[in-house]
A and B are shown apart, each in its own frame.
Chain A
């Protein structure tokens, strides 16, 4: 063996966030006074838990025995042949229990909630995947679960609404604002403000006030750790490219974080351009947004010329969010990660291509990353290793997929 993965961390190593919760100039704790003591306590408890071997052991136990980790690292033979260059691998987060990476985080946070003695769990959800992952762990550990979901999203994602209900969650429709994820998040924060003493808020992405972006990242770090080991085992070296879709950005940070100091690995985040990054129907935060404050942190944000939050649009409900995690904003500004827009059409074509060539029906979110192969693969010379974080499976999207390809009659 000519190389080991246990290299000493250099002094200049990437080490964010700062003590105050900043990734460069992004992040922070922009929340009402009432939440500050709660966030301070959460930060303290999380610090203690992360230094406690038994906490880690318990978390890893559930990830292995309940979530089904490690997830496979699949060579995509026909997709690779289709492009004729490089070698394409999928990190199979779609095979996690509940069908997406989201549960890595909810397992971690629910264990922390129990450690802190909180019995009431709240969450926000857009597409419903985080809601399902939260409802699942609450069912498993016997905790009360309330999920806020935009009324509009409840219509679009009825299957997930029913899954959450079946799991015992109280799904509360949010009728304010645009009735989508950002409004569900507002409502969850309001609930937390009101019930801060007995309630734990499980945030579903690397967004929100410190310490959430760090904590959620840490709970998804397992994706990158496994990828590194699996790629080394299969190929004997690191990947050349890692691709992941970015809404809030949790699956992307999960697979990127381990590789940030490995400059030879190119990292590409794909954001949802909707009908086009230059149009008004887009969720392409980096292409079109400016730094701003929403939901507790300073980060890139889609906004009007008066600083009001602009409605996002994407065919994928999971990427339909006007903000993005603060760590991504830092990685964007420093240029360590390249962020590129992918349209609804490109993503839907990728759903079909991936299904037919690999027998894997990806979530529409994930398909945004797969779609980038169209641009990337023709530029490669032949032996590059390209890893895509296959963050979720497409079962939940069958309604949208049916409408899109086969007309609503076949729904």
Chain B
């Protein structure tokens, strides 16, 4: 159980604030990662809206990059599929706009610095603000390199969300907490993203969650990297505010996409991540 009082996002958007404010004491916030344009450009908006109805509290929308060095093979694969189909940065903003027509689910863009630099820092943040992006996760931009984004982020009120790792010092964790807006992303296993065995995940978590809770005091904490089931999620996030699922979600799409009723089967998996295997109609959120 989360230690009280609950952290609230300091500079998070009102949409993000609402998610954490409305969180029930025994509830874990579920952030789902999906690569924009995977499995196809036409599916992304539908998937996001369906995820919201099936238990997702936050959407992390991946901006595909040719060389995603902080991600494992699964996310690299999904990025390659999206890029091969010609996905552009403006397509991603268009997707966010579409979602915003009917949904207030917080959307955080996750990606690598280079496509953003090419788009232009100011235009990028401006588009984020216009379309309703709630934050930005850039795994190849640690706090010491954030200076070039700070002004645009501040002006456009699109906060950066930083990561902490098991080997981050207490000082760094405090710095990350100070600079992050929305939540702090806690990397649970030393390693790149990818589905891992329960044991491996379990081992690394306990060592530093305590330190995280001591040092991250201004923002909620979500734990990610390696979660592939409800049991994983509950175990890993038991002392934090919630969890992130990425590779396991993409893998599940790969297994199901193209088969009959694939979306239904996929959403069943999504519900199981948040609510466990036992399904009742009450578990489906009504929007």
Contacts and interface: CB of A to CB of B under 8 A. Distances in A.
A and B interact physically: yes
Most buried by A among B65, B117, B145: B145
A65 interface: no
A227 interface: no
A279 interface: no
Contact of A292 (B114, B145, B164): B114
Contacts of B113: 30, 293
A189 B68 CA distance: 11
Contacts of B141: 30
A232 B15 CA distance: 70
A257 to B, nearest CB: 25
Interface in B227-280: none
Contacts of B118: 290, 292, 303, 305-307
Contacts of B27: none
Nearest to B167: A37
A295 B69 contact: yes
Most buried by A among B72, B89, B190: B190
A193 interface: yes
Interface in A177-207: 177, 182-183, 186, 189-190, 193-197
Contacts of A20: 144
Given A193-B190, A293-B140, A177 B172 contact: no
Interface string B117-148: 11100000000000000000001111011000
Interface string A258-299: 000000000000000000000000000000001111111000
Given A29-B144, A186-B69, A309 B114 contact: yes
Given A182-B67, A193-B190, A303-B114, A36 B144 contact: yes
Given A32-B70, A32-B140, A293 B112 contact: yes
B172 A34 contact: no
B191 A193 contact: yes
B150 to A, nearest CB: 15
Interface in B94-128: 112-119
Contacts of A296: 140
28 contacts: A29-B145, A32-B142, A33-B139, A33-B164, A33-B168, A33-B187, A34-B165, A34-B190, A36-B142, A36-B172, A177-B67, A177-B80, A186-B67, A190-B192, A194-B192, A290-B118, A293-B112, A293-B140, A294-B67, A296-B140, A306-B115, A306-B118, A307-B89, A307-B114, A308-B65, A308-B83, A309-B66, A309-B67
Interface string A151-181: 0000000000000000000000000110000
Interface in A39-83: none
A305 B72 CA distance: 25
Contacts of B66: 177, 308-309
Nearest to A183: B67
Nearest to B162: A33
Given A33-B168, A190-B69, A308-B65, A294 B139 contact: no
Contact of B187 (A34, A37, A306): A34
Interface residues of B, number: 41
Contacts of B25: none
B158 interface: no
A301 B113 CA distance: 13
B49 interface: no
Interface in B57-97: 65-70, 72-73, 76, 80, 83, 88-89
B117 to A, nearest CB: 6
Interface in B160-175: 162-169, 172
A291 B113 CA distance: 12
Interface string A3-27: 0000000000000000010000000
A196 to B, nearest CB: 6
Contacts of B163: 32-33
B167 A34 contact: yes
Contacts of B168: 33, 36-37
Given A33-B139, A303-B118, 20 more contacts: A32-B140, A33-B168, A33-B187, A36-B168, A37-B168, A37-B172, A38-B167, A177-B66, A177-B80, A183-B67, A189-B69, A194-B190, A195-B190, A290-B118, A293-B112, A301-B114, A306-B88, A307-B89, A308-B115, A309-B67
A120 to B, nearest CB: 14
B165 A33 contact: yes
Nearest to B225: A34
